[in-house]
């Protein structure tokens, strides 16, 4: 009974924390539909000529807020804890959402809400993987960690169907867009309530010297029974914390200048750039606009709803049947090739069969249907490769001594490049049309080359073996630390 209860509590804890991922995804999906509603444009009083700029700003400023949220949350989580940090992030996101749904007739208030919501989202998405990993049983840690991407894909899908529903069932009035945006309060509230019903990270409590509370937290999440297995796990946590403190002693940022560390920082930075250059983030944020561009003007929101379903199916299949069975490099390269090919087909069809704006009742042509299917296939390929893998890969490649800094670089890079693509995409849709898909096709083919030359296989290697995998050798600990110090001095000396 205790073991089953422990598995349930661990799953519940991971699911509750992943409501932050769901909230982020819901915002990602709902904003693309809200920005196409005439009621929203009318209430915020901007002209058709300003539409592209408003679309770009509304999406990208949330990414800017999330970028800074990544950095703000680290000292808060270190001081207050993972659970407390998630509670605070849910409150910040709630405040931002409320500002967005106020019909102030000014974009300034709406933009302020987007930035504040972004701060909460950035904080939550940084803390969720950390909290879930620290509390999950080791035998299901991978599956519970993969819930982040599953909840994300599910949130996007739900958001797409919400915008479709309000466009069909609600009158063309203020409450139409307010309902869509206001439903963001549901996942943030569930995150808040969920965090209020679980325990603080046992590992964080132990690291702060609160060993009694750490024991109670670990006992709770493992089912409440005091067993020999529980005691062994608790002893391993304490030993691991002591070893980590020893390994990180005298750590300085200058160590990142070591060749082996420079290489991994380069990977953390560029792999997030490549994830954005696949074009899938652009498809997620501006799905309605893109489906209108390929000929589904009258049914863009319906088509977008099924687009979300494809994402969920793709990531579910990847987690259940592909993850940890075929390595990392192969899905990276195959996924990029598939996405590049689908983008190239869309570009060719759209160039030879340009769509015509036919009003709200127009239906897709045969060419439009073909492009929609290719867009679905691209999204499926992304969620079988470059969707879930970059976060996992960045978390694997760093040594214990540099992992926190390296993962922070990867997270911040993701938001930075997310901001970049959300700024560029609406202008690309408006100004270069089919050439945008050709651009993404070229990027994806270039990513294959990048994956071949720069990404190393990390599956079937322990975290302790990554130093050797990335060319750092595998010397004894004492010699390694002394050698690292000497190499740092040699690297930074004029």
Burial of 137 (0-12, 13-18, 19+ CB in 10 A): middle
Tokens read off for 247: 């390994």
Q: Which residue from 18, 129, 118 is spatially nearest to 68, judged by alpha carbons?
A: 118
Closest residue by Cα to residue 301 from 311, 291, 314, 313: 291
DSSP 40-90: HHHHTT--GGGHHHHHHHHHHHHHHHHHHHHHHHHHHHHHH-HHHHHHHHH
Q: How far apart are CA 257 and CA 488, in angstroms?
A: 7
Do 27 and 163 form a contact (C-beta atoms < 8 A)? no
| pLDDT average, residue stretch 219-231 | 88
Give kind and range of the element (H or E) at residue 378. Answer: helix 366-383
pLDDT value of residue 459: 76
CA 405 vs CA 160, 266, 307: distances in Å: 35, 13, 35
Decide: 305 and 161 in contact? Cβ < 8 Å: yes
Taking Cα atoms as reference points, which of 424, 115, 422 lies closest to residue 284? 422
- CA-based torsion, 7, 89, 151, 343: positive or negative: negative
Full set of structural domains in the chain with CATH: 1-209+217-244 (1.20.1250.20), 254-469 (1.20.1250.20)
**Torsions phi, psi of 455, nearest 5?**
-90, 130
Distance CA 37, CA 54 (A): 13
Return the structure tokens found at 357.
């704006």
Quick one: tokens of 187?
């996942």
pLDDT for the residue 12? 92
Give the Cα separation of 197 and 216 in Å (integer): 14
Render pLDDT for 393-419 as a digit per residue (tens, 0 to 9).
887 787 767 776 787 788 788 888 888
Q: pTM of the prediction? A: 0.78
Alpha-carbon gap, residue 69 to 85, rounded angstroms: 11
Residue linked to tokens 């249907």: 369
Please give the average per-residue pLDDT across 269-284, as a whole number.
88
Q: Can you point out the beta strands (E) in 360-406?
A: none
pLDDT at 315: 84
Tell how far CA 98 is from the center of its chain: 23
| pLDDT tens digits, 426-459 | 788 778 878 888 999 999 999 999 999 999 888 7
Identify the CA nearest to 73 among candidates 62, 87, 58.
87
* Nearby residues of 294 by Cβ (< 8 Å), 6 or more positions away: 346, 350, 355, 364, 368, 371, 372, 375
Q: Mean pLDDT across the chain, nearest whole number?
A: 82
Residue 485: pLDDT over 50: no
Average pLDDT over residues 460-484: 56
């Amino acid at each position: 009974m205790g073991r089953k209860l422990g598995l349930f509590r661990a799953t519940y804890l991971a699911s509750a924390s992943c409501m932050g991922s769901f909230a982020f995804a819901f915002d990602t999906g709902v904003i693309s539909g809200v920005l196409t509603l005439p009621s929203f444009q009318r209430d915020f009083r901007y002209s058709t000529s300003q539409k592209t700029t408003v679309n770009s700003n509304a999406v990208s400023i949330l990414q800017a807020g999330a970028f800074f949220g990544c950095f703000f949350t680290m000292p808060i989580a270190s001081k207050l804890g993972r659970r407390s940090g998630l509670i605070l992030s849910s409150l910040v996101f709630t405040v931002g959402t409320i500002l967005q749904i106020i019909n102030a007739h000014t974009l300034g208030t709406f933009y302020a809400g987007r930035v504040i919501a972004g701060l909460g989202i950035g904080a939550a998405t940084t803390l969720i993987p950390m909290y879930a990993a620290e509390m999950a049983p080791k035998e299901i840690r991978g599956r519970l960690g993969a819930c982040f991407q599953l909840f994300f894909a599910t949130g996007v899908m739900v958001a797409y169907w919400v915008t479709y529903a309000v466009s069909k069932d609600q009158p063309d009035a203020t409450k139409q867009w307010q309902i869509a945006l206001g439903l963001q309060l549901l996942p943030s509230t569930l995150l808040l309530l969920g965090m209020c019903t679980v325990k603080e990270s046992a590992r964080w409590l132990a690291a702060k010297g609160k060993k009694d509370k750490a024991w109670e937290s670990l006992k709770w999440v493992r089912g409440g029974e005091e067993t020999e297995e529980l005691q062994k796990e608790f002893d391993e946590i304490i030993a691991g914390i002591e070893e980590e403190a020893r390994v990180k002693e005298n750590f300085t940022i200058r160590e990142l200048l070591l060749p082996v560390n420079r290489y991994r920082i380069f990977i953390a930075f560029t792999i997030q750039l490549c994830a954005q250059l696949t074009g899938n983030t652009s498809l997620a944020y501006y799905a309605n606009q893109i489906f209108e561009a390929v000929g589904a003007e009258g049914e863009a929101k319906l088509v977008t709803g099924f687009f979300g379903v494809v994402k969920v199916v793709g990531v579910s299949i990847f987690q259940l049947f592909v993850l940890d069975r075929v390595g990392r490099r192969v899905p990276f390269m195959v996924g990029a090739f598939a996405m590049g090919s689908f983008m190239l087909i869309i570009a060719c069809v759209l160039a030879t069969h340009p769509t015509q704006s036919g009003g709200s009742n127009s239906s897709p042509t045969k060419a439009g249907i073909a492009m929609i299917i290719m867009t679905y296939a691209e999204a499926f390929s992304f969620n079988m490769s470059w969707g879930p893998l970059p976060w996992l890969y960045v978390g694997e490649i760093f040594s214990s001594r540099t992992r926190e800094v390296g993962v922070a670089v990867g997270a911040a890079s993701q938001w930075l490049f997310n901001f970049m693509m959300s700024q560029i995409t609406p202008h690309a849709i408006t100004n270069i049309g089919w050439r945008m898909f050709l651009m993404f096709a070229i990027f994806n083919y270039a990513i294959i080359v990048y994956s071949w030359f720069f990404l190393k296989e990390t599956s079937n290697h322990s975290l302790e073996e990554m130093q050797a995998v990335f060319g750092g050798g595998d010397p004894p600990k004492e010699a390694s630390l002394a050698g690292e110090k000497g190499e740092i001095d040699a690297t930074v000396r004029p």
